[in-house]
Amino acid sequence: VASSTQVPAAVDDDLLAEAAERFGTPAYVYDVREPTRRYRALREALPASVRICFALKANGHPAIVSRLATAGCGADVSSEGELAAAERAGVAVEDTVFTGPAKTPGVLASLMRRPIGLVVVESVHEARRLASRGPEQAVLVRVNPARDVIGEGIAISRFGVDEERAAQAIAEIEALAGISVVGIHANRASNVLSADAWLAGARDTVAIAHGLGPLEIVDLGGGPGVAYGGEEPFDVRRFTDGVTTLAGEGFGLILELGRWLVAEAGWYLTRVLDVKSSRGEVWVVTDGGIHHLYRPLLREANRALRIVHGEDRPTRRVNVAGCLSTPSDVLATAIDLSEPAPGDVIAVPRCGAYGRSHGLQPFAMHPPPAEVCFDGDDVRVT
Ligand SMILES: Cc1ncc(COP(=O)(O)O)c(C=O)c1O
């Protein structure tokens, strides 16, 4: 993708229609400039002691990862594939954090070839498997906090070592050869829309770290949310102010952001194949489906789907179905859509995170959607 210095063009319906025309549907369209814009805004607002990593699991498209890497963003990876993708995209291994919850022999072998920035270990046993194999590696111990102080979003538990046993685990891991424990990690919740709630979790994680003896680094994980259903958006200013205050407590902080960096950069496109009535309801049948928007949250995002260039038409209450032969393949129910007709393109906004990377693509052997990148100049598949 060519870089662009001109005034950015908006991702409007003309562009989405062009992407569908040139590359077919279903497709994901990414504005590859948006994640970098967001990264830069955070970078400027946060002190240098806060490291920002992009969680590739949200969207590992090379055009997105390489732009973020060029801007200085690190990577949070959780598999051999993501580790290799981050490296190919230009992320230095020192700026890479490995956070997979179950490290396979293959993953350990890749990590053993050379130390990377940080490896997050999930248990004493896992640390032993790492220690017995290779050169000195700095690790964070993942802690499973005792209290859910966030109270919203998708709560994440079961990973890591229970907070109550963390001190003992750190002592045992520290005693292993070839490993040095430099801090802890906790990824507490995903899609948290209240910055105050996210910060309450972060403060609790930092408090846990204070109680565990001399440590340098606290990795606060990901979690800032996206207003899929038109809710109040995540307050970035409150977030950066709060993280800046926390950074004053003396730890090097790490953020592993996925959804917030990339969700708004993506649209999912699907074409209407048929519009039919069944038992009193109108069904719009499309060439897409839940195999491409699998996350329940993205299915909520479907409330915002719209017909491309449909703004001048009257609306009609419809259900929107995908192309799979399962009754669960429903993209939206009872939504008001601009009078849909076969051939129309439907666009679903905020699909840049956990879209393709979290899909069920193999189901029914439909061809995979294209990933179309827009860089301000052109749309293209890279
Ligand atoms: C360890 C870890 N870090 C970061 C993230 C990114 O989370 P989010 O997309 O909510 O920012 C995840 C998501 O599952 C994760 O498991």
- DSSP H helical ranges for 54-157: 62-71, 80-88, 105-113, 124-131
Residue 55 CA, ligand 1 centroid: distance in Å: 6
Taking the C-alpha atoms of residue 243 and residue 331, their distance in angstroms, rounded to an integer, is 37
Mind listing the pLDDT tens digit for each residue in 260-288? 999 999 999 999 999 999 999 999 999 99
Atom from ligand 1 closest to the CA of residue 185: 1
For the chain, how far is it from start to end, CA to CA, in angstroms? 7
Q: What is the pLDDT of residue 111?
A: 86
Whole-number mean pLDDT of the chain?
92
Burial classification of residue 317, based on how many CB atoms lie within 10 Å of its CB (0-12 exposed, 13-18 middle, 19 or more buried):
exposed
Residue 50 CA, ligand 1 centroid: distance in Å: 17
Residue 17 CA, ligand 1 centroid: distance in Å: 32
Asked whether the predicted pLDDT for residue 202 surpasses 90, the reply is: yes
Q: What is the pLDDT of residue 134?
A: 64
CA angle 229, 230, 232 (to 5 degrees): 120
Take atom 7 of ligand 1 and give the residue whose Cα is closest. Answer: 222
Q: What is the pLDDT of residue 8?
A: 42
Residue 257 CA, ligand 1 centroid: distance in Å: 6
Give the confidence band of 377 by pLDDT, cuts at 50, 70, 90.
confident
Mind listing the pLDDT tens digit for each residue in 26-57? 999 999 999 999 999 999 999 999 999 999 99
Q: Which residues line ligand 1 (CB under 6 A)?
A: 55, 57-58, 76, 99, 187, 190, 221-223, 256-260
Residue 112 CA, ligand 1 centroid: distance in Å: 24
Atom from ligand 1 closest to the CA of residue 142: 1
For residue 4, is it left (φ>0), alpha (ψ between -120 and 50) or beta?
beta
Residue 138 CA, ligand 1 centroid: distance in Å: 21
Q: What is the mean pLDDT of residues 199-227?
A: 96
* No. of helices (H) and no. of strands (E), the chain: 11, 20
Asked whether the predicted pLDDT for residue 18 surpasses 90, the reply is: yes
Residue 316 CA, ligand 1 centroid: distance in Å: 38
Atom from ligand 1 closest to the CA of residue 256: 4
Mind listing the pLDDT tens digit for each residue in 221-244? 999 999 988 889 999 999 999 999
Atom from ligand 1 closest to the CA of residue 153: 10
Q: What is the pLDDT of residue 110?
A: 85
Return the higher-pLDDT residue of 109 and 339: 339
pTM of structure: 0.94
Is 154 strand, coil or helix?
strand
Tell me which of 39, 158, 256, 350 to substitute to probe ligand 1's pocket, judged by most ligand atoms within 8 Å of the beta carbon: 256
